[in-house]
Amino acid sequence: MCNGQIERPIGLKLRVAHTVRLILASIGRFIFSLYYGVEGEKIPPIYDDILKEPAITVAKKIRNKEITSVEVLEACIRRIKDVNSALNCFVEDRFEAALKEAREADDLVRSGTKTVTQLEEEKPFLGVPFTTKDCIAVKGLHQTAGVVLRKDVIAEEDSDVIMLLQKKGAIIIGLTNVPELCMWWETHNHIHGRTNNAYNTTRIVGGSSGGEGCCQSAGGSIFGIGSDIGGSIRMPAYFNGIFGHKPSRNIVSNNGQYPMPESDLLDSFLGIGPMTRHAVDLKPIMKIISGHNAKKLNLDTPVDVKKLRYFYQFSTDAPLTDPVDPEIIAAMKKVTEFFKKQYQIDAEEKKIPLMRKSMAIWFANMKSTKRFGEFIMNNDSIGSILFEMLKNMIGLSGNTFIGLFTSLFDYGGVDIGSERYKHYLQLREDLERTFSEMLGDDGVFFFPSHPTTAPYHNEPLLRPFNFSYTAIINCLGLPSTTVPLGLSREGLPIGIQVIANHNQDRLCFAVAEELNQAFGGWVEPQKA
């Protein structure tokens, strides 16, 4: 009786807050549309066809002497220079070192000391240029994570992921933009500025791998590497119309990522993974970056999509998040109809009650003993944060407004070790169990990557909890791939997540490849 009396007013308050937020978000959308207009700056089309090819095809052509690594790299450099003034996705290069490595790769191919088969086995990405975000260490380049206090930090060693890719012949050519400390879903910081969407530069690219998602959609490199603790690969992949994969927990090494999670629990939420224009590139890249853990994924075991079980859920119905756009729901229905028509498979709709608590579970489980402000400020006291907010309003702060707000917000929430904290840890375990039992070793779950298409710049401030659709999957440690499914009426990418059980990443890849063929995958922005 007492609990019921307590929870009814709380539910009422949430409903009121949810309604008020939706009204404010609608007003904000109208204001932003007037301010930014309908279209932004157009980017030039991709002139070098090699940039439209899958990474595995590029690698094959280099091995077979159909094209040189230098030619591919020069095409990437031209493309970055063509679009970066409009997009601001690429923030630091190592072009000279990369050109040297590309020449060495070409010399190895021409020397004939290794057969094409040997090159494919030993260095499957020989001479293929790639990029990564500015929080994953690349020796000799900055590693700022968008934090002004780190603007002069130079990485002394490559991260594990970069080393693994280089050993297999891939060539890192530079860094892409991120939000401040990589903890917001719009890419903007006070070192490099804001990144713009290639499909419409008035819209966001997502975060925190937003610069990488944008670079891939625009054809700036052959493939990219991102990291994801609340959707930081999958949201940018979604907003930029590409494929992005968050691996199963504890598969890909996070060594060399900044900031590093302080506990094993938080480390299990963070995943480094591939971002590509073509689904066929996901598996071979994962095979490399997983290192010795690749054997746990059985990536070479064939997957028959006709024998999988399919589930879907249209929405979490979580408070304080937007309703899922009808175009996204329609796209998901087209996916289920495709499997019905093509393979006579009926996907089963689910309504998992605990998904309503996605945000509460994520925030509680993400609680850290080190506050957000300690990473971005010299003094993170409440008074200092409020003073910095005042400075931000007149353009004198090195911190972004959302970074400061997050620092202030971090003073609240549950306390580690408290009963509420333990309660949300238990809810996470309960939800993970629900998914594991449902999916087994042959199930996939279709779910929105985000409830809307890419918002206008700054608009996420009015829709702060919409990232719940990706964040909850991090808590559960499940592999998830964002799959593009065409464009909205406004010409913006839409798509869904394909989620599988722990260490069943290959199911995500197989379904992603199937949907890539069926729905066309990435669409060049200029042709949108």
pLDDT digit string, tens, across residues 505-515:
999 999 999 99
Per-residue pLDDT at 8: 43
Is 232 a residue of the active site?
yes
Express as a percent the part of the chain with pLDDT over 90: 95
Give the SS3 label for residue 336: helix
Is 290 a residue of the active site?
no
Report the range of poorest mean pLDDT among 16-25, 55-64, 220-229, 286-295. Answer: 16-25
Phi-psi region of 189 (alpha: psi -120 to 50; beta: other; left: phi over 0): beta
DSSP letter for each residue of 272-310: EEEEESSGGGHHHHHHHHTGGGHHHHTTTS---GGG-EE
Q: Which of 227, 232, 290, 397 is catalytic?
A: 232
Question: How far apart are the two ends of the chain, measured CA to CA in Å?
Answer: 57
Q: Where does the pLDDT of residue 9 fall: very low under 50, low under 70, confident under 90, or very high at 90 and above?
A: very low
Orientation of helix 95-111 relative to helix 55-63, angle to 10°: 50
Per-residue pLDDT at 5: 35
Q: For 380-402, what is the mean pLDDT?
A: 96
Count other C-beta atoms under 10 Å from residue 468's C-beta. Answer: 27
| Cα dihedral 17/19/24/30 (nearest 10) | 160
All structural domains of the chain, each given as residue ranges with its CATH number in brackets, are 49-367+414-527 (3.90.1300.10), 368-409 (no CATH)
pTM (predicted TM-score): 0.96
Per-residue pLDDT at 38: 80
Q: Which of 61, 69, 123, 133 is catalytic?
A: 133
Residue 527 clears pLDDT 70, i.e. is over it: no
Residue 459 clears pLDDT 60, i.e. is over it: yes
Q: For 206-232, what is the mean pLDDT?
A: 98
Q: Which of 208, 217, 253, 268 is catalytic?
A: 208
Residue 3 clears pLDDT 60, i.e. is over it: no
Is 449 a residue of the active site?
no
Residue 2 clears pLDDT 70, i.e. is over it: no
Q: For 37-50, what is the mean pLDDT?
A: 93
- The whole-chain average pLDDT of the chain stands at 96
Per-residue pLDDT at 4: 36
Which pair of structure tokens corresponds to residue 159? 């991260």
Residue 289 clears pLDDT 50, i.e. is over it: yes
Residues 137-161 pLDDT 10s: 999 999 999 999 999 999 999 999 9
Q: For 205-212, what is the mean pLDDT?
A: 98
Per-residue pLDDT at 526: 76
Q: For 159-168, what is the mean pLDDT?
A: 98
Q: For 518-525, what is the mean pLDDT?
A: 98
Beta-carbon-side half-sphere exposure of residue 132 (alpha carbons within 13 Å)? 34
Express as a percent the part of the chain with pLDDT over 70: 98
Instruction: Report the alpha-carbon angle 483-488-490, nearest 5.
Output: 140
Q: Are 196 and 153 in contact (CB under 8 A)?
A: no
Per-residue pLDDT at 11: 73
What are the Cα distances from residue 192, in Å, to 147, 176, 187, 362, 447?
A: 10, 10, 10, 29, 33
Per-residue pLDDT at 13: 81
Residues 297-327 pLDDT 10s: 999 999 999 999 999 999 998 889 999 999 9
Residues 104-144 pLDDT 10s: 999 999 999 999 999 999 999 999 999 999 999 999 999 99
Per-residue pLDDT at 10: 52
Q: Give the closest residue to 468 by CA, choosing from 324, 330, 273, 318.
A: 318
Q: For 353-362, what is the mean pLDDT?
A: 96
Q: For 488-507, what is the mean pLDDT?
A: 98
Residue 43 clears pLDDT 90, i.e. is over it: yes
Q: For 183-207, what is the mean pLDDT?
A: 98
Give the SS3 label for residue 339: helix
Helices and strands: H and E segment counts in the chain:
19, 13
